[in-house]
Amino acid sequence: MDNAKFLDMMGKMKIYDLTQDLSIHTPPWPSYMPLGIQYFKRIAGAHMGQGANGQIITTSNHVGTHMDGEIHFYSAGRTIGEVPITEWCGPGVVVDISDEVSDYSLYTPEMIESRVEVKAGDILIINTGYNKYAWDQKKCDEVRYFVKHPGPSPEFHKWCIKKKINWIGVDCGSADHPMNTIIKDWHPKCFKEAEAKLQKDFGKTWEEMYPHETYYQVMHLKLFPIRMVHAENLGGQINEIKNKRAWIGCFPLKGIELESSMCRIIAMTGEEN
């Protein structure tokens, strides 16, 4: 394809911003430092400066839409800045399973593949519907967003490996089920609710279905060492693109020391979509 045809094609692309709003009110993942913003100079002159607005920010890397890097859980992995931009961009799917899941639900590979074809090497964006409980939405519910969101079934991480998924994005607090994280201990009442639902749906206790030694933060601990990372807290226009293939891009900071990074994530589709 020559340059003129490429530019014409790109001019017809529809771009969806899958990024959650970022503010000092954006809650970080539980226990992490929130975003702080302070002016150190103002246009009219204040705080030892004048002529321009200038700000200092303090934050953890896990606020709003962000990419968990390999070294977040794997010391021998690459930092965010060491990953080539070509690995953050590529073909993939945006899958909406919001009508099949609810508090503490499990989502399965079958749910994903019943909606759209997932090809080897794809970027996989999962819309659980829990973006509607994010801090910037009318139905904002911080506990529901971080503590009660759906999570992957026991075989899900193995399916991701088999499919050679590039990276995963989710519209909730974590790519792991919250009850397979430390949240299980921090919210014992919610864990009882989650286990009661599991027993009703599958006839098993949480430990029977998710043995701790195998499944504790499995989406982090088993996948990051093989360079299969994930982004969390997606939002924005995610509900406007459903069960479609797209060209997906993630744009984190090129921080050579960063274990993770806040980022902008987009999905692009052709005019016919």
Listed in sequence order, the DSSP H helices in 177-238 are: 183-186, 188-202, 206-209, 212-215, 218-221
Per-residue pLDDT tens for 149-201?
A: 999 999 999 999 999 999 999 999 999 999 999 999 999 999 999 999 999 99
CATH topology classification for 12-29+61-269: Glucose Oxidase; domain 1 (3.50.30)
Per-residue pLDDT tens for 5-28?
A: 888 888 888 999 999 999 999 999
Per-residue pLDDT tens for 258-268?
A: 999 999 999 99
What's the pTM?
0.94
Instruction: Rounding to the nearest 10 degrees, give the CA dihedral for residues 52, 57, 61, 62.
Output: -110
**Taking Cα atoms as reference points, which of 147, 163, 145 lies closest to residue 155?**
163
Judge whether 184 and 140 are in contact, CB under 8 Å. Answer: no
Q: Where are the domains of the chain?
A: 12-29+61-269
Per-residue pLDDT tens for 55-69?
A: 999 999 999 999 999
**25: which DSSP letter?**
T
Tokens of 271: 């005019």
Judge whether 235 and 21 are in contact, CB under 8 Å. Answer: yes
Tokens of 56: 């200092």
pLDDT of 38 strictly over 90: yes
How much is the pLDDT for 5? 84
Judge whether 124 and 175 are in contact, CB under 8 Å. Answer: no
Helix (H) or strand (E) holding 56: strand 54-58
